[in-house]
Amino acid sequence: MMGEMIPPPGPLVCVVGARPNYMKMAPLVRAFGARTDLPSVLLVHTGQHYDTAMNEKLFADLALPPPDINLEVGSGTHAVQTAEIMRRFEPVLDELTPSCIVVVGDVNSTLACSLVASKKGVPVVHVEAGLRSYDRDMPEEINRVLTDQIADVLYTTERGALDNLRREGIPPERVRFVGNVMIDSLMEHRRRALLPLDTLVREGHESKFLDDPAGFGVVTLHRPSNVDGSETLREALDILRAVALRLPLIWPIHPRTRGNIERLGLSRLLEDARIALLPPQGYLEMLGLLCHARLALTDSGGIQEEATALAVPCLTMRDNTERPITVEQGTNTLVGRNRQRILECVDDVLVTGGKRGQVPELWDGHAAVRIASDLASWLARREGRVAVACA
C-alpha cells in the first residue's frame, strides 16, 4: 500500500553464555554500536556461567554493558543445559523479531541459540567459525560443527578455517576471513592489565612466587580429559609439581578442577609445591599474569591465542587443538600429559626463551570493525532482497 510505514529493522541480538564469549563479544558490541547503518544491539546472557560476582567483574573489566536479558539457565548436563537455553531463548526471538543473531565461539549457548534462530528463520552470524580439532570427544567440537552448518554468515580467525568449512559442504561465499576478536580485547585492555604482584598480594600469597629469577609460569586446566578422571588428574598434578621445581607456577583454578582435586583426595599433591593456587580471576588479572609469565601451561583455546599474541611460550596439555595456527605460526606446542616432553620444553624456555613465533595475519585489534562493516553490507543486501520479494 502506498504510504505504508516500513517498520524499522529488528535488533542485532548478541548472545553470550560463558566466560570466553565475553572477551569476543565486547569489541563486537562496541563496533556495532559505532555504526549508524546497523540496527540497535541487544545483549542476551544465557546464564550458562552463572557466578554473578565474577560475571559483573568480567563485564566491567571488558567495558561490556550489562546484558539486556539474562535467561538464568545455570548448570546441568549438556543435554539439559542446551534444551533449557533453547526453551528460554525462543520467546525472546518471538518478541524481538531480530535482524539476526550473533553468536561467538563454541559453548552450549552458541549452538542452542543458533538452533532456535535457524528454525524460526532468523539469520545466524557465527564469529570464530571453522575451527576444528577433529576430536568428536570434545563437546565444543560438536557445537562448532553444527553451528557452522546452520550459520548464514561465518567469520573466521585464520585462513585455514575456510578449508575446514569447504570439506563440510559450506559454500565459500558465506565465509569471511576477518581476524580474531579475542585479540581485539587483548590489545584494547593490555595497558590496563594488573601487575602479578598486586594479584598475589590481594589473594594472600607472599611475593616469593615472583622472587625466583627464572620468573613464573601460569597454569589453567579445566578440560574433562585432564581433570575429571582420578588417574588423569593425578598425572596432571604430578607434572605440575615437577615443573614447579624448575619454575614457580601461578594457577587460577577452575571451580570444577578444585572440586575434583578435593573429591578425589588429591590435595596433598599440591602441598609444599611452588604453586600459588588462586580463585578464578578477572580478565585484567589474568591478562597481567599472562603478560609477565615465562610460559603458560594450559588446555584452554583462548590462552593458546593470547599467548601467541603476547609472544609467551605456551605448552598445551592436549593431543590436538582447534587453533592450529597457534602451533604453526605462534608460540604454542602440543604436549599432552607427556611428562618428559613437558619438562624438556620448560628447560628450553628457561635456557633459550622457548618458542616465540609470530602474530598471525589480521590479529591486529581491528577484527570487530571489519565484522561490523561486512555485516552492515550483508544486512543491507539481504533486506533489499526481502523488500523485492515482498513487493
Interatomic CA distance for residues 105 and 107, integer angstroms: 6
The one-character DSSP state at 143 is H
**Is 102:181 a contact under the CB 8 Å cutoff?**
no
| Rounded-to-integer distance, Cα 304 and Cα 314, Å | 6
Q: Can 45 be counted among the known catalytic residues?
A: no
**Rounded distance between C-alpha atoms, residue 102 and residue 15, angstroms:** 6
User: What whole-number distance in Å separates Cα of residue 95 and Cα of residue 30?
Assistant: 24
Encode 57-113 in three state secondary structure. Answer: HHHHHCCCCCCCEECCCCCCCHHHHHHHHHHHHHHHHHHHCCCEEEEECCCHHHHHH
Q: Which three cell numbers stand for residue 105?
A: 565461539
The residue annotated as part of the active site, out of 49, 126, 189, 222, is: 222
Report d(CA 200, CA 356) in Å as an integer: 27
DSSP state of 18: S
Torsion of Cα atoms, 362 then 363 then 367 then 369, to 10°: -90
Is residue 215 within 8 Å of residue 247, measured between CB atoms? yes
Q: What is the DSSP string of 290-343?
A: HHH-SEEEE--HHHHHHHHHHT--EEE-SS--S-THHHHTSSEEE-TT-HHHHH
Residue type for 181, please? V
386's grid cell: 526481502
DSSP three-state, residue 172: helix
What are the residue numbers of the active site?
A: 222
